[in-house]
Amino acid sequence: MATSKHKVVSQKEWLAARKALLAKEKKFTHLREQLAQQRRQLPWVKVEKEYVFDGPKGRETLSDLFDGKSQLVVYHFMFGPGWEEGCSHCSFWGDHYDGMGVHLNQRDVSFVVVSRAPLAEILPFKKRMGWNFKWVSSFPNDFNYDFHASFRPEEIEFVVDTARSMEEVLTRDIKKVPALRGKTVVNLFFEASTRTRTSFEMAGKRLSADVVNFSSATSSITKGETLLDTARNIEAMKPNILVVRHPASGAPHFLSRHLSCSIVNAGDGANEHPSQGLLDLYTILKAKGKVAGLKVAIVGDILHSRVVRSDLHSLGRMGAKMWLCGPATLLPREMARTGATLTSDIREAVRGADVIIMLRIQLERQKTAYFPSLREYSRRYGLNRTVFSLAKDDAVIMHPGPINRGVELSDDLADCGQSLILDQVASGVAVRMALLYLLAGGSHAAH
């Protein structure tokens, strides 16, 4: 924390502020205890599948992990296949497990740490950290997926496969199928968009849905109507899908709790942009044939980027080695928890990269000065020919758009043969057709 501008007050004022904070801390502790109680009261599920883990003693079943005790505590340590090190938050707790085990054992409780990484990757990291607790790999089984600790790559692959079928439709003379005839898609956009809004509109039309575009600037929002009231009024007209973009993180999730139609997040604040994450994955798969093992460097305003957060899910989940690069002020340290490598040196990020995703500086979301000037930012974090020459010879350049030419990306690189920027836009239609189809479509939608 910067201390130079910190407020200095009298002892009396400090005590009053401390007491006010203490009251909040007590409330928080109370809420946490309530939550812990609710966790203990969660219903149980009978485990009938046999899960076999790779552990220090070889193959061990879930029953073996109880180690003769009546209860087993399983900690999911975020450490996926191919990661060089585990999540830093989990590692903080890892530093305390060796002391805790003995107390749990006294209470007839066994304790085990589980990760998706293969045991051969877990053991060197465990040794490096000097830990002794029991750590097993769920790599050979479905334990993480069945208990909702990890997304299944198959779920992402299913969307990608559907997008491939949709792309075939887009190659036909008549680029239209009747899959969503009679369905209505409403694009509810509370923030500017060129690509996403047009792409969802085109996707809906290609599937024969009725598509209605809503713009907040010409709506009753300008007269003071709330987001929920606006959305409820639109839902009263019986759409099947609302595609929502909003400057507030969580707005689509909020609406999904109140409305019964399907909601698609088309970008919410600095939180997520899931369809962009999927189209980035799709574009890379088309260009490179695979994602697993590729070095993907994302450079720019990481802090405010919803694209990064979704790319970490889509590309990271499919096994890419993710590198995030930007000025230290725009590079949240906790993002290392996802397994991504963080650096403020663009050369380190780009060196040997297969894919470079450049991001725009999001001045509209920045509440303070994160760097001295755009000129300096461009000099240190802009991609130009010299920096790009450090990447693999066949490296590709991507950008979710809109581009600020000459700031994050030089003009010639934006339009060069290795730029996939317009391919991303083209992929967007196929991917969004897949999403709309799977949400409101035909026989496959039940999956």
Residues in contact with ligand CP by CB under 6 A are: 193-196, 267, 273, 276, 400-402
Least spacing, CB of residue 59 vs ligand CP, in Å: 46
Q: Is 222 exposed, middle or buried (0-12, 13-18, 19+ CB in 10 A)?
A: exposed
Least spacing, CB of residue 396 vs ligand CP, in Å: 17
Query: Which H or E run contains 282?
Result: helix 274-288
274-288 and 153-170 helices, crossing angle to 10°: 70
Strands 58-61 and 52-55 turn out to be antiparallel
Least spacing, CB of residue 298 vs ligand CP, in Å: 14
* β-strand partners of 409: 383, 405
* Residue closer to ligand CP, measured from CB, 110 or 193: 193
Least spacing, CB of residue 382 vs ligand CP, in Å: 19
Contact 311, 285 (CB under 8 A): no
d(CA 390, CA 386): 7
* Residue closer to ligand CP, measured from CB, 196 or 265: 196
Least spacing, CB of residue 284 vs ligand CP, in Å: 15
Q: Is 219 exposed, middle or buried (0-12, 13-18, 19+ CB in 10 A)?
A: middle
* Residue closer to ligand CP, measured from CB, 269 or 401: 401
* Residue closer to ligand CP, measured from CB, 141 or 196: 196
Least spacing, CB of residue 350 vs ligand CP, in Å: 22
Task: Look at residue 49 and give its three-state secondary structure.
Answer: coil
* Residue closer to ligand CP, measured from CB, 119 or 312: 312
**Interacting residues of 335 by C-beta distance below 8 A, sequence separation 6+:** 302, 308, 312, 324, 342
* Residue closer to ligand CP, measured from CB, 195 or 337: 195
Least spacing, CB of residue 273 vs ligand CP, in Å: 6
* Residue closer to ligand CP, measured from CB, 97 or 200: 200
Q: Which of 88, 65, 78 minimizes the C-alpha distance to 122?
A: 78
